[in-house]
């Protein structure tokens, strides 16, 4: 039996998300801003920096909605951390 490593990440430790283009592999980095900024300033990039493929087609595109929701969720979570519980996820398995 070999030991397996488990990594646990607190959501408040996440300071950016990366969107990787499946066409060319370029990664766009979106920093997680303060919640007030996140509430009023959606991501500005809408094309891949490597091949200029559109990442989303507009504000109703599910990809945009999902990325914006993740960024805002992480930004707001930092404010809520001290209100009762923490939120994290783990990578790896102990069995």
In DSSP terms, 65 is beta-bridged to none
How many whole angstroms from its chain centre is CA 33? Answer: 11
The distance of closest approach from Cβ of residue 46 to Zn ion in the complex, given in angstroms and rounded to an integer, is 12
Q: Of the candidates 11, 12, 17, 26, which one interacts with Zn ion according to CB under 5 A?
A: 26
Find the angle CA(48)-CA(49)-CA(53) to the nearest 5 degrees.
30
In contact, 21 and 51? CB cutoff 8 Å: yes
Q: Does 23 bind Zn ion (CB under 5 A)?
A: yes
Cβ proximity to Zn ion: between 53 and 90 the closer is 53
Residue 55 interacts with Zn ion (CB under 5 A)? no
- Residues interacting with Zn ion, by CB under 5 A? 21, 23-24, 26, 48, 50-51, 53
């Amino acid at each position: 039996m070999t030991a397996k490593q488990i990594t646990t990440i607190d959501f408040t430790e996440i300071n950016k998300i990366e969107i990787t283009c499946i066409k060319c592999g370029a990664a766009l980095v979106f920093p997680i801003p303060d919640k007030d900024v996140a509430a009023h300033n959606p991501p500005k990039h809408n094309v891949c920096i490597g091949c200029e493929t559109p990442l989303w087609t507009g504000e109703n595109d599910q990809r945009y909605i999902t990325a914006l929701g993740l960024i805002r969720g992480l930004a707001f979570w930092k404010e809520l951390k001290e209100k009762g519980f923490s939120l994290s996820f783990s990578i790896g398995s102990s069995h």
